[in-house]
Amino acid sequence: MGVTPGRVGRPRATGESAGERDSRQDLLDAAAELFTERGYTATSTRAVAELAGLRQASLYHYFGGKEDVLAELLEGTVRPSLRTAEVLRDVPASAAAKLWALCRFDIDLLCRGRHNLGALYLLSEVSAARFAGFRRDRAALKAAYRALLGELAGPVSGLDTRADLLFGLVEGVILTRREKAIEDVAAFASAGADAGVRLAGCAESDLPEIRLEGLSVLATGKTESTPNGSPTAHH
């Protein structure tokens, strides 16, 4: 039996060897825990590496520094939803169903990870130039919501205000997670999606049909969910 060659990761502090992806992901997981529980400023690269079971130098093998780690965590909360929005543009479904599907996917993504990474959006450091990519992706996601609203409601006045409110509703789950654990993420995400399309002007009586179509869109397998606690690509 042949052996498939692979790149060997940096050695762990324990002396064990780890694969390239495992070590990098372990560092992201450790940073997610420390940034959300201890705070970004209070967390050193040494602490991240130690929690991951690696030497501090290993972190710099995978990342340029703490800002790069934070940038990847933030982008992992947004890019899966942005890719989903791009897929939904070409899906043969009603605008209401596509909006419901995007809301549900996005809320599920923000809720399902082990750590509430969306809370990192509130860091003052996120305004720095290093995080321009995250801010750009987040703005593109908001624009996708606005486009779906426009497709659903037509050229109505106050479209930007509706988009602001809808985006705020979706990202509001970040604050909910700070206050309490969300026990049933799927049900919570569906309820949030219901509220989203109601905000867009859909009638309560239309919700069952919209929900079924939206679930069908998500079940096609063309959308890809990535837990925000283990970003591979947010908000």
Q: What are the pLDDT digits (tens) for 14-23?
A: 344 445 558 9
Within a domain: residue 213?
A: yes
Range of the domain at 102: 74-218
Q: Check whether residue 57 and residue 102 sit in a common domain.
A: no
> Which CATH number does the domain housing residue 182 bear?
1.10.357.10
Within a domain: residue 13?
A: yes
Within a domain: residue 1?
A: no
Q: Compute the distance between CA of residue 213 and CA of residue 43 in angstroms, rounded to an integer.
A: 44
133-160 burial code (b ≥16 CB/10 A, e <16): ebbebbeebbebbbbbbbebbeeeeeee
Q: Check whether residue 53 and residue 81 sit in a common domain.
A: no
Give the chain's domain count: 2
Within a domain: residue 49?
A: yes
**Predicted local distance difference test score (pLDDT) of residue 235:** 40
What are the distances in angstroms from CA 136 to CA 27, 31, 82? 25, 23, 11
For 66-78, the pLDDT digits (tens) are 999 999 999 999 9
Tell me which residue of 162, 152, 176 sits closest to 100, measured CA to CA.
Answer: 152
Q: Check whether residue 97 and residue 58 sit in a common domain.
A: no
Q: Check whether residue 189 and residue 101 sit in a common domain.
A: yes
Give counts: helices (H), strands (E), the chain: 11, 2
Within a domain: residue 17?
A: yes
Q: Check whether residue 78 and residue 166 sit in a common domain.
A: yes
Q: Check whether residue 105 and residue 181 sit in a common domain.
A: yes
Q: Check whether residue 20 and residue 134 sit in a common domain.
A: no
Model confidence band, residue 152 (pLDDT cutoffs 50, 70, 90): confident
Question: Comparing 19-33, 35-49, 63-77, 128-142, which segment has the lowest mean pLDDT?
Answer: 19-33
